[in-house]
Structure 1
C-alpha cells in the first residue's frame, strides 16, 4: 500500500462534516485538538462578544486587538453576530477555515459576509493568525468601516375613498428657556389660559434634573392655525419661545386621534418590540393605527456598509435595498368622522361615538374623549349596555311570536327570584303594549316578558347580534359578551342589559346597524378585513324591530331627537359600580340613512337626557 506523507495531504471538509466535528467536542477535560474546534471556539467567543477569550486564541495578537474588534462593532452598530462554519483545508501545521457571518446591524438589518480564518499549529495547539481580513476579506491595516442609512417617507393612512388622512406638514413647538423666565407664575398662567397646560406639569418639566437653564424646553406642539391664535398672548411673556418642526398631520386637530394614532421618537420599549430595523432617533407610530401597522407604513430603510482606505478610497461592501411604506386603507369617512367629533365636542365627561355602515359593517367614524387620555373608549371600553340591549331582547320576543301591539304589563316593580326590578323614576304604564314598553324603556315589562322565553332564547338572540363572537376590526376591540344566566334573576337582569352583560360602543353600533339591515356584520376598520363573521336576525323580525326603534324617537325616551327625520334607536341608562343610588352610563344607539351608531357618556346619567341630544346632533349633521 502506498504511504502518503501527512505533510503533503490537503483535506476538504463540508459544512455538514464541520458541524458534526463541532458536535464531537468534548465537554469535560481537554477539547479535541482540531482546527475546526479552534475555529468554533473562536467564533463562539466572537458571537458572545468575549474579546478577551478571542485574543487569547490569537497567535501574536496585534496591538489594540480588542479595540479594533470593538470599533468594527461600534462603527457598524452591530447588535448580534452569528456564524456558520464552512470548509477546512489544512496541512500538518497550518489550516484555513471558511465561515459565513451574519451581522445584524441596528437600523438596517442582517448583513451577510463570507470570511476565512487562517490558523497555525504550535506546540500541539491551533492558533488564529489574525489580520483585519478576519473582519472582512477586503479589510487592511488602517481601514475604517462605516455605514449609511436612509428612511423613505412614511406612507399615508387613507380614508374610505382612498384619500390621505395623514400628511407631512409643520407644527409649532411652544416651549420655554428657563434662564429667560422672569416670572414662572406668569408663564404658567399664560400657557394654562391659552393652551390648557397644567401648571403642575410645567413645574415638573422645569424642575427635571436633565433640564439645562440655557436650552429650549419643549412644552406642547400645536398646529399652525392654533399657533396664530395664541401667539399674540404668549409672545410677550418673557421665557416663552416657539420653534417650527416637521410633523405628521391629520385633517384637523384631534381628528380620529385615538384611532389614527400619533407618531414620535421611538421609545426604548418599542425598540425591543420592533426589532433591529429600528434605531434610536427613528420616528415611529406610538399609538393607534400608526403603531399597529408601523412596519407597513414605514417600509424598510436603505443603506450601505462601506470600507474607507487611509487614502480616502471608499469601497461598498454591502447594500440594503429599502422598501417604501405601503398606504393603509381604512373605511373612515371624513364627513362622518367630523360629525362625530362635533357631536361630542364640549362633553365634559368621558365619552365615545362610533358609526358603521349598516349594509357592510365598515366603520365610518370613531371618536373618543378626552383626547389626552390614551384609552380609545369607542373600541376598547366594555360597559353594561343597559336598556340598549332591549333591542336584542325585543328580537327574541318577536322571534317567539310577539308583535309590537302584543300585550305587555309595565308595573312599577317586578320581582324575579327575590330581586326587585324598577323603572326609571318609578314610571309605570300598567297593562299596555310591547311598542309602548319598548318606546318608554320599561324595565319591568321586559323582565316579565323575558321570563317566558325558552331557556336559551335570549342567548341565541344575543349571538345573532354578534355577542360572544370574536372579530378583529383592525385595532384591538373585545366585542361583546353574554354569559349564560345562572338563574332566573340573572336572566331578568340580562334582559335589560345589566348583570354580567358587557359590550363596547363599537359593538352596540353594530347592533343598531343589524336592526336596520336585518343582518349583523362584524365591524371592520380596514378594507382588507371586510369578510368577517356575520349572522342573520330571525326571519320576520326586522320590520317590527324597525317600528319599535322608531317609536323610541317619535314618542318615547328618545323624543328629544324627534326633529331628526328618519332617526330610530334605543336609549340606555346602565347601572354600574356601587353607591345609593348607583351611578349610570348614558347610552343611545340608533341608525339613520344607512349609518348605525352608538353614543356613550361614562357616568353621564340618563340616556334620554344626555346621550340623545348628542345623537340628534350627530344624526342631523349626516
Structure 2
C-alpha cells in the first residue's frame, strides 16, 4: 500500500475516532480537553490541540508538527483507555498508534495526559512527556533505519548468478546541513523528481550524524547527473556494490535497476532510497525476499549532543534471503554455446528424475516468454505422447505402415514434407515414429479414442496446473471430436506446447515418471503476481513400464545417426517438424532431458552440441 493510501485511510478513520472520543460526554469535564487535544493532534488541527493545553500555543503547535516530521509519520490514531479525576487534578490514559510509513510496522504505545483546572477550565499540563512518557525537555524523536543490502540469486551449487555492480547513493548528514536542509532537499527534488516533502521528512526524522540515503542512481544516470549533484552543497554520494548484473540465464535471473520515484510509488513496499529494484525475471518475482525490509528503531535524541537518549521501539525488519535456483552452471554454459550459432532457437534442459530446470537458453527468442511460456505447434514431437496411448491400445512398434506423400484421415489431409518412404508397408511404426512420417502416424487415429489421447496428454503434463514463479505454459490439447481431430493430435497439428513442457515429456520417458518442473528451491516459490503457489503441485505420474520400454527403444532409434548423437554416450529422442521452418528435438542423454525448438536450423544439431558440451564440462 502506498503512503498516500495509508494517509487517506487514517483520515477516514478520524471520523470514527472523533465519534468514539465524543460519544458519551454531556457536561464540561476533563473529557472535553482530552477529546479536543487528541482529535486536534490526530487531524493536524494543532490550534485546537494547543488551545486545550496550559502551554504556549506556538510552542505546542510546533512540538506537535515536529513530532510528525521527526517520526516521518503517515498518521496518528488515538484511543482513550481511561480518565480519573481527583479534585482539581486529572489523568487521561490513551493508546497511540503511529503509522511510520514506508510499510514499517505500526508503532503502538501507551501515553498519559495530566490535566488540571486553570481558571475553572480543564487544561492538559504541557510537557514533552505528553507526546511520549519517555520524551524529555531538550530531546526529540528520531527514526533510525538500517537498509539491508540486496541478496543474490544463486545457482544449484549456491554460487551467485550475477556479479556486483556499483550503484551510487546520494544522501546527506543532517548535522552538516544546519538550517539549510529544506534548501538542499528542494534542489535535489528539482533535479531527481522525488517529492520534496518525502525527502525532507527522511532528513528530519533521522539521527543528525548518520548518512541519510535519499536517491539511488545507476552508473549511466549518475554520470549524467553528477555535475548537478556536485553543485548542491551538502549532497554526498556513496558508491555501493550490489549483486545486480545478471549472468546466464540472464532473462531468467532478471535485471535490476536503481530505485526511482516512479518505482518507489508503484512498489510502496519495504524499498527505500539506496535499494535496487528487480525489473523482470526472478529479480522481480522475488523482489521483497531479495531486499527484505529496513531495520527500524524509534528513538529519542538529545538535542545538544545529538546522541541517542532512549530506545522507544525497534523492529528487525523481515530478513532478506537469497533465492536458490536449480540452474546448473555447466549445463547453462553448454546450452548457451549450443544456441550461439543459430538464428532463432530455444533450449530447456531438466533433470529427468526430479523435473528441476538445469538450463534455459535462447537465441532470437526470449528465455521466459518463449522457452518457458511459449505456445508453439508440437508437430510430430507430440507423437511421443500419442505413442503412449497407441502402445497402451496394443499397437506394436513392429507394425508395418505405409508412408505415402499424402493421406486423408476423417476428411483431414496430411502431407509428408520431404521424402516419403513409399506406399508399401515396408517400414514399422517405430521407424515412422523415428523419422516423423506424418501420413503414417495419422493413419493410426482409428486405433485410439479421444479419451485415450487426452489421458496420455494429461499423464505427460499437458494442461496440468503446474506453475513456476515465472510465466510458463503446460500445453493445450483441444477437444477431439472425430478421426480427423485425433489424427491431427497424433501429428501434433492441433496441439500447442512449450519447450519446457516437452523437456518434461522427455524426462518422463527417461526416468519412468512425469514430474512437474522446479526452478526455485528456496524460498517458497511465487507466481507471477507475487502470490504463493499452491502448497502442492500436481503429483508425479508414473509411465507404464512396458510402454516406457517400447518408447525408449523408439526414441533410441529416433536419435541414432542424427546430429543429436554428436558426442559420447547414448542419446534418445525424436526430431520433428512443426511448420513454419520450425523443428523440434525432444530427448535425453543420461539424466538430462532436453527440448530444443529451432527455426531454419536443425534442432537435433543444437541438442547434439549441448550434449557434447555437457559431456566435456568438468
Same fold by TM (over 0.5)?
yes
- C-alpha contact (below 8 Å) 1:566/1:592 kept by paired residues: yes
1:397: Cα distance to partner?
Answer: 0.8
Q: Could you list the per-position Cα deviations for residues 80-121 of structure 1 after superposition, in whole angstroms to 9, with x for gaps in the alignment?
A: 444444223246875513213243342743333222345678
Tell me what 2:515 maps to: 521
Give the superposed CA RMSD: 4.0
Question: Given the alignment of the two structures, is residue 549 of structure 1 paired with residue 546 of structure 2, yes or no?
Answer: no
1:429 to 417, 422, 430: 422
Gaps of 5+ in 1: 1-18, 174-208, 222-242, 576-582
Tell me what 2:387 maps to: 394
1:304: Cα distance to partner?
Answer: 2.6
- C-alpha contact (below 8 Å) 1:87/1:99 kept by paired residues: no
Which moved further from structure 2: 506-515 or 408-417? 408-417
Cα distance in 2 for residues equivalent to 1:568 and 1:278: 49
Cα distance in 2 for residues equivalent to 1:172 and 1:299: 18
- C-alpha contact (below 8 Å) 1:21/1:36 kept by paired residues: no
2:456 to 458, 461, 469: 461
The structure-2 alpha-carbon separation of the partners of 1:299 and 1:25, relative to structure 1 and needing over 3 Å to count, comes to same
The structure-2 alpha-carbon separation of the partners of 1:36 and 1:122, relative to structure 1 and needing over 3 Å to count, comes to same
1:148 to 120, 141, 144: 144
Q: Number of aligned residue pairs: give it.
A: 521
Map 1:36-47 → 2, pairs under 5 A: none
1:344: Cα distance to partner?
Answer: 1.6
- C-alpha contact (below 8 Å) 2:148/2:294 kept by paired residues: yes
Q: Could you list the per-position Cα deviations for residues 121-142 of structure 1 after superposition, in whole angstroms to 9, with x for gaps in the alignment?
A: 8999987666543432233565
The structure-2 alpha-carbon separation of the partners of 1:139 and 1:291, relative to structure 1 and needing over 3 Å to count, comes to same
1:616 to 603, 608, 617: 608
Tell me what 2:485 maps to: 490
Cα distance in 2 for residues equivalent to 1:285 and 1:405: 54
Cα distance in 2 for residues equivalent to 1:76 and 1:517: 59
1:412: Cα distance to partner?
Answer: 2.0
Cα distance in 2 for residues equivalent to 1:518 and 1:591: 13
- C-alpha contact (below 8 Å) 1:153/1:324 kept by paired residues: no
The structure-2 alpha-carbon separation of the partners of 1:105 and 1:449, relative to structure 1 and needing over 3 Å to count, comes to same
Map 1:97-136 → 2, pairs under 5 A: 97-106=93-102, 108-118=104-114, 131-136=127-132
Tell me what 2:188 maps to: none
- C-alpha contact (below 8 Å) 2:257/2:277 kept by paired residues: yes
The structure-2 alpha-carbon separation of the partners of 1:280 and 1:542, relative to structure 1 and needing over 3 Å to count, comes to same
2:505 to 495, 505, 511: 511
- C-alpha contact (below 8 Å) 1:39/1:97 kept by paired residues: no
What's the secondary structure of 1:560's corresponding residue? coil
Cα distance in 2 for residues equivalent to 1:366 and 1:172: 28
Cα distance in 2 for residues equivalent to 1:41 and 1:84: 13
Cα distance in 2 for residues equivalent to 1:502 and 1:248: 37
- C-alpha contact (below 8 Å) 2:270/2:292 kept by paired residues: no
1:491: Cα distance to partner?
Answer: 2.8
Map 1:337-416 → 2, pairs under 5 A: 337-349=332-344, 351-369=345-363, 375-416=368-409
Tell me what 1:8 maps to: none
Cα distance in 2 for residues equivalent to 1:507 and 1:99: 57
What's the secondary structure of 1:469's corresponding residue? coil
1:494: Cα distance to partner?
Answer: 2.3
- C-alpha contact (below 8 Å) 2:462/2:477 kept by paired residues: yes
2:546 to 535, 540, 544: 540
1:257 to 221, 233, 250: 250
Question: Given the alignment of the two structures, is residue 311 of structure 1 paired with residue 317 of structure 2, yes or no?
Answer: no
Map 1:227-376 → 2, pairs under 5 A: 246-248=241-243, 254-267=247-260, 271=264, 275-312=268-305, 314-316=308-310, 317-322=312-317, 324-349=319-344, 351-369=345-363, 375-376=368-369
1:385: Cα distance to partner?
Answer: 2.1
Tell me what 1:449 maps to: 444
1:543: Cα distance to partner?
Answer: 1.5
What's the secondary structure of 2:359's corresponding residue? strand
1:254: Cα distance to partner?
Answer: 3.9
What's the secondary structure of 1:424's corresponding residue? coil
1:474: Cα distance to partner?
Answer: 4.3
1:560 to 545, 560, 563: 563
TM-score by length of 2: 0.73
